[in-house]
Structures are given as C-alpha cells and as structure tokens.
Amino acid sequence: VTARTFVIVGASLAGASAAATLREEGFEGRLVLVGEESQPPYERPPLSKEYLRGEQPFEKALVHPLDFYEAQGIETRFGVRANRVDPSERVIELEEGGRIQYDKVLVATGSRNRRLPVPGAHLEGVLDLRTVADADRIRAEVAPGRRAVLAGMGFIGAEVAASLRQMGLEVAVVQRGEVPLSRVLGTEVGRILADIHRDHGVEMHFGERVSALEGSQRVEAVRTAGGQTLLCDFVVTGVGVEPVTEVVAEAEVEVEDGIVVDELSRTSVEHIYAAGDVTSHHHPLFGRRIRVEHWNHAIKHGAAAARSMLGKGTPYTEVPWFWSDQYDHNLQYAGHHTGEEEMVVRGSLEDRSFVVFFLRQGRVVAAAALNRARELRRAMELIRVGVPADAHLLRDEGVDLRAPAKP
C-alpha cells in the first residue's frame, strides 16, 4: 500500500485493534493514534473486577506492551484530545493546537458515562467507573465495613456490587427497573441475578430512583424518589453510556444513536470510518442497526474497519458476545434481541445453570447462559447460521445443541 496517512481518533480498544491490524495487513504509510487518556490503550473488563479488587496490576490490562507502538511505527498522541474531523480539508484538529492531515480516518472514540441528573451529584465521594483513574478513585474508598450505595444495576452496578461485597463492604443498590440488567437479559434472567446478589448480602431497592445525593461537602446519604434515606460512605453511579460523537459533529456524518456505519464501517462521509461502541452499525444477521458496548465487539469491529480502510473489507457479521463474572457465577450473552422474542429455557433457572434462547420467527437471535459457557458457544453458531430451530429440541438437555435444527 502506498505511503498515505491514516489517523485513528480514539486510543480505545477498537482503535488499538485497528492500528495493529493495519500493520498486520501490510499498511506501510503513516499511522497516527490519537487518544484523550494519557495511558496507552487498555482493556476495561478488569476495572470492575480483578483490578478493582487489587488482584491484577494495570499493566496486565494493556492491549499491547508499551514498546509495541514504536516497534510498529505507530505515532502515538496520548493525552491529546481531537476536537474535530474536517473532511473538506481532510484534517484532524487537536485541542492543544495542531492539525494532522489524513487520507483516511477511523473514529473509535467510544462512549462516555451518563451523569446522574440529581442535586448533589457534584459532591465528593460520588464516583463512576469508566477509566482506570475512575477505578483508582473507587479503590481509594474501599475498606471493609464501609458502606457504598450504587445507583443503577446494569453491568457496572452488578459487577461493582459483587467486587465490593467480595472486599467486605456493605452494598446497597438503587435500581429503576424491577430486576438488574433487564434491558439486556430480560426479566427472568435478571431475577436470578437479583437472587444471587441478595444471597451475597446486597441490599436492593428496585423500582426506585435516586432523587438526591446529600451531604455538606462529601456525600453522606442517598435520597430516593420513594422517600427513603440510605446512609453511605460513597456512591458509585452506573446509569449507562452515550456514544462520543462530537468529533464528527461538523462533518455532516450521519449520527443516530452513534455514528452510523454500514457493514464495512464506512460513515456517510467519504474517507471517514468508525468502529466500536461509538457506532450504530448495520448488522446483516439482525437486519437492522445495532450499537454494541462490549469488549469483544471493540476488538473485532476495530480489526474489520482496518481491513475495510485497506480495501480488503468483508461485511461485518460477527455475532455480538460478552460475559460478566459476578461472585463465582459466569454469565454470558450472545446475539441481539429486543424483548419481543419467544423465550426457551434449557436447564434450570432456579439451579442457576441454564441457557435461555430468544427466538424470533422460529430462529435463535440471542441466548443468555449462566454457568454454561460451552452451550453458549454452540448457541452462537445457531445465531450465526440462522436456520429455524425447534423449541422442544433446544429445551431437551439430551439433544446436542449442534443439531437442533428443524428436520
């Protein structure tokens, strides 16, 4: 490939994956990786688990070793924010001043945490979790017997609750819905997770909202819409994310729940590509656009975008997949479902050993598994192939999941 300049905006997991793939695939031009955080790209899954609990050093979370970038001839601009992509002049403008000319640019800016829009959110001791710096702030609050209130019980709330309990803290959660993680996993699976957390001593307030955070300088209590006052030493909010799209705001790139890209990671503007959880990407398997906020997607989508930038792209059809470890339970999910699907349970919800299949028009479009990793991998294959599956066979534990297709 002739010497050209490719710029990756966002030293995220998706950005790091794209950079490495460009070199692996033979790109010999100038390659610049710009990222707002001062650290090299790292993986976030340990931040709510092993790293938060002090079981794993930060270095283990690095996507590539420190010397990788120089060795690969990747110019890094860490701790530098990109202000905007200007497609008319094909430049990236940096906040600190300076411009980088590009031939192609990949936007991999990821997401940012939503703030809890309540009085007192600015108080000391009100924390959230996205970066390693955030994780360090939570770690600094950790001591056995202290009491944390978590606002929201999505992935962050559920994983942080488990980690803090494992470290001997008192934990209460305030969650809008009736069960944790219902948006992604459905009510039935969410209820099982709630039981697991209850068994581990998490105090749960479901169907409730945080209405205010109270304290003079530091947070001392959480007020709920239902009129409860929950005393606390600190608060962790985990109320979802929004894609970071400002960098293309003036570039007339189509944005709708993320930067819209086709199955080759192309945005609506020539030479601008996007990958990872900042994108709403058209997914051929589900026949619609989806936005996926998980680790595996960042790696795969970043790599796919890199190949596409080199003109070697193939339609991105990867089945979304993620896991979440909470206490000694392993939860996994694959596919994409909307909540309107037929649900088929294989195994036992009560025994906490199951795969739940979500079927749309007789085809498996998603599956969630608790402590059944191997069957989940097989379910992924069913999602990928998309043939009609027989609910009775899926349910029957005597039937190999490699063969539940209708005759």
What is the number of alpha carbons within 13 Å of residue 315 lying toward its C-beta? 9
Convert residues 14-53 into a mask of x (bound to ligand NAP by CB under 6 A) and - (unbound): ----------------------------------x-----
Beta-carbon contacts of residue 369 (< 8 Å; ≥ 6 apart): 331, 332, 333, 354, 355, 356, 375, 376, 379
> Which residue type does 102 have?
Y
Candidate residues 139, 147, 209, 378; the one interacting with ligand NAP per rule CB under 6 A: 209
Restricted to residues 363-402, the positions that interact with ligand NAP (CB under 6 A) are none
CB-nearer residue toward ligand NAP: 152 or 404: 152
What is the number of alpha carbons within 13 Å of residue 248 lying toward its C-beta? 30
Restricted to residues 213-252, the positions that interact with ligand NAP (CB under 6 A) are 238-241
Restricted to residues 276-335, the positions that interact with ligand NAP (CB under 6 A) are 293-294, 322, 324
CB-nearer residue toward ligand NAP: 76 or 175: 175
Q: Do the Cβ atoms of 128 and 113 come closer than 8 Å?
A: yes
Q: Is 81 in the site for ligand NAP (CB under 6 A)?
A: no
Q: What φ, ψ does residue 34 adopt, rounded to 5°?
A: -110, 130
Task: Write the DSSP symbol of residue 150.
Answer: E
CB of 379 to ligand NAP, least distance (A): 17
Q: Do the Cβ atoms of 371 and 378 come closer than 8 Å?
A: no
CB of 276 to ligand NAP, least distance (A): 11
CB-nearer residue toward ligand NAP: 291 or 346: 291
Q: What φ, ψ does residue 183 adopt, rounded to 5°?
A: -60, -40
In angstroms, what CA-CA distances link 210 with 155, 169, 181, 230?
18, 21, 17, 10
CB of 294 to ligand NAP, least distance (A): 4
CB-nearer residue toward ligand NAP: 29 or 177: 177
Q: Is 153 in the site for ligand NAP (CB under 6 A)?
A: yes
Total residues in contact with ligand NAP, by rule CB under 6 A:
24
List residues near ligand NAP by CB under 6 A.
48, 111, 151-157, 159, 175-177, 182-183, 209, 238-241, 293-294, 322, 324
